[in-house]
Structure 1
Amino acid sequence: MIEGIIFDMDGLMLDTESIALESWERAGKEFGYVISRELMMKAVGRTLVDTRKLLVKNLGDDFPFEEVRKIRIDYTKEFMSLNGVPMKEGLIEFLEYCRTLKIPTAVATSTNRSDALELLEKVDIVGYFNTIVCGDEIEKGKPEPDIFLMASKKLGVNPERCIVLEDSENGILAATRANMIPIWIPDIIIESDIARDNARYICNSLNEVNIIINELNN
């Protein structure tokens, strides 16, 4: 029986990864840096600290991370103020399904807590979750298992009976290392041997996850 379900946020519940990639690219140009899509794809699922290390390593010690990040955030907020925060297909229906089954749920996102809560509150889904664990609350981010283990501990559930819903390679690896049940729902990364080899199940959208839960619970 499934005892808990842990959700990633960006790219899994909220359709925000592509916005972030474009915003990083635009912000980099203002400072004379080329921040490629390929480079930022490596940062998907990672914490702010790990993203900073990745960019400095690839763009040089002089890369003004905080300044560029501020511009990136401004671009993202501008987009969302005009268009709202886009949610992934089937999200509300699946959250209602989990509520019906009375399965404890958690968010485990690499995003810092203040930013994560702002997004979750904007789409009015905070109330669906028993707990929320964020990237600035753990020592080691994905692909290490820390964030998922903390989430399962807060839920009071057995990690081996916990589903993790993820769109990133780093998230799938973290869930595997936590001995959980990783379900990969591809977003901007649609071809990945790492995710494919480590995911227990692969779904096209959240609309398909209830089928897997029904199978595991019977």
Structure 2
Amino acid sequence: MSLKAVLFDMDGVIVDTEPLHRKAYFKMFEDLKIEVSEDLYTSFTGYSTKKVCEILIQTYGLNYNYQELIDIKRNYFKDYFYHDPDFDLIPGVRKLINHYYENQIQLIVASSASMVTINMVFEKFELEKYFNGKVSGAELKESKPHPEVFLLAAEKANVPKQNCMVIEDSTNGILAAHNAEIFCAAYKSEHSFNQDYTLANITVSDYTELELDKISNYFK
């Protein structure tokens, strides 16, 4: 059995849009005049924007529908996306993507982000040619930790799930890969806080550790 497809989460794995999302969400909280605790905000990790907005409406009894909140947040996010000077790819990820691509490994992005955001990232950083497909959790009925997003990504790659590897960085994402019964590599970055890596098959903090010769033992 060998590795034939890698299913990349996007946020925190390919790019770190978390600081941008955070700024956009907190601008939105300001507009809505609500106080969101750090604990509540941290619990949103890995959720789609729709799910977060539904939780906010319920928790704070807001007189908005989720689409109105999504639009407010998305406008702030877009502004930061194109104008924040610190926004870049995660160190080492372009080299890893290229390494898999040159070795004919299929690459699929399987992210909770909306397809709009996925496409913005792909365009900005010119990633389109490397990937065989994209799955947006925002378009699915269930959010991570539900396995649907990764099962669909494996299907898109047209590869048995035992020949796939997920790269994830969040508790919910790792749980989704575990629930999908797909081998999971957890990427632990300097920005990862309060995430649980227990259910990951391996945990790395440098992408060179996921090069094919280093992980071949897991895919005999």
TM-score by length of 1: 0.89
Partner of residue 91, structure 2:
89
Q: Is the 8 A contact 1:25 1:36 kept in 2?
A: no
Q: SS at the partner of 2:46? A: coil
Query: Match for 2:170 among 163, 168, 171?
Result: 168
Superposed counterparts of 1:32-111, under 5 Å: 32-62=33-63, 65-83=66-84, 85-111=87-113
Q: Between the two proteins, what is the percent identity of the paired residues?
A: 25
Shift of 1:50: 2.0
Query: Match for 2:193 among 190, 193, 197?
Result: 190
CA distance in 2, matches of 1:162, 1:6: 7
Which one-letter code corresponds to 1:127 in the other structure?
K
Q: Is the 8 A contact 1:110 1:134 kept in 2?
A: yes
Do residues 30 (structure 1) and 31 (structure 2) align? yes
Q: SS at the partner of 2:108? A: strand
Q: Is the 8 A contact 1:145 1:178 kept in 2?
A: yes
Query: Match for 2:133 among 120, 131, 134?
Result: 131
Q: Deviations over 1:14-45 (max 9, x none)?
A: 11112211221122112211233332222221
Which one-letter code corresponds to 1:27 in the other structure?
M
Which range moved further: 84-93 or 32-41?
32-41
Which one-letter code corresponds to 2:210 in the other structure?
V
CA distance in 2, matches of 1:108, 1:48: 15
| Residue ranges of structure 1 left out of the alignment (5+ in a row) | none
Across the aligned residues of Structure 1 and Structure 2, the Cα RMSD in angstroms comes to 2.1
Shift of 1:47: 2.1
Partner of residue 145, structure 1:
147
- Distance change >3 Å, CA 176–CA 212, structure 1 → 2: farther
Superposed counterparts of 1:204-215, under 5 Å: 204-210=205-211, 212-215=214-217
CA distance in 2, matches of 1:91, 1:64: 37
Which range moved further: 140-149 or 29-38?
29-38
TM-score by length of 2: 0.88
Shift of 1:212: 4.0
Shift of 1:58: 2.6
